[in-house]
Amino acid sequence: MADSTIKSIYLVLNDSMTGYLGIDQSTPDDGFTGTSHHNVAAAVYPVGTRKAVYISSLQGYSILTYLQNGVASGTAVAAGQVMIPDDVSNNANYYPTKITDDPDEGLLASACAIAISAMTNDYYGWFWTGGVCPVGIGSMTATTTTATDDSVAVGCTLMTCDLTADKAGLKIGAAAGHVVGFSMKADG
């Protein structure tokens, strides 16, 4: 199949990243993409910290998790990029909170995170890991897109996949995969 895209606002993610999610609905003082803690070389928050944020335009909660952008396929990733846990070749301690967009270096059919802004390799920051799209946070807008394999249909369950472009993306869930969410609309 050919690569395609879907507007990120049509996705709902199942949060399957590790970490404790209590009732913390606070926002960092300078926002989720503030330069004091987001896209930084050293973690400022405990890696795996999760926060729930109400997105009024979508009438639902979005879960954001503080993770490390491990070895990506380029020097950086963009908002809307699907990320998967880094495998042991670049993650000797196997931290489930170290993620990549490179399907050759990551664990497909596992957990999913989506970048909320551009992120540099090996840097720390907030990623969308559950609930509705975090519209208005970072670079996430109503027109931000997420890559798919051109198979996504209305209401289908989703799993991560290796796109033709050799990046992680989303496709219709299969029996052998880990469901990471569902779609509200078809891709294309």
Task: State yes or no: pLDDT of 1 exceeds 70.
Answer: no
Q: Is 174 helix (H, G, I), strand (E, B) or coil?
A: coil
Give residue-wise pLDDT tens across range 12-64.
999 988 766 666 678 888 999 999 999 999 999 999 999 999 999 999 999 99
**3, 6, 36: which is closest to 182 by C-alpha?**
6
Give residue-wise pLDDT tens across range 64-104.
999 999 877 777 899 999 999 988 777 777 788 999 999 88
Give residue-wise pLDDT tens across range 34-43.
999 999 999 9
Report, as an integer, the average pLDDT of 178-183: 88
Task: State yes or no: pLDDT of 157 exceeds 70.
Answer: yes
* This prediction's pTM: 0.93
Residues with Cβ within 8 Å of 46's Cβ and at least 6 positions away in sequence, in order, are 66
Percent of the chain having pLDDT more than 90?
65
**C-beta separation of 2 from 148 below 8 A:** no
Give the start-to-end residue ranges of the domains of the chain.
15-148
CA–CA distance, 13 with 85 (Å, rounded to integer): 16
Task: State yes or no: pLDDT of 146 exceeds 70.
Answer: yes
For residue 22, the model assigns a pLDDT of 63
Q: Rg of the Cα trace of the chain? A: 15
For residue 20, the model assigns a pLDDT of 66
**C-beta separation of 127 from 64 below 8 A:** yes
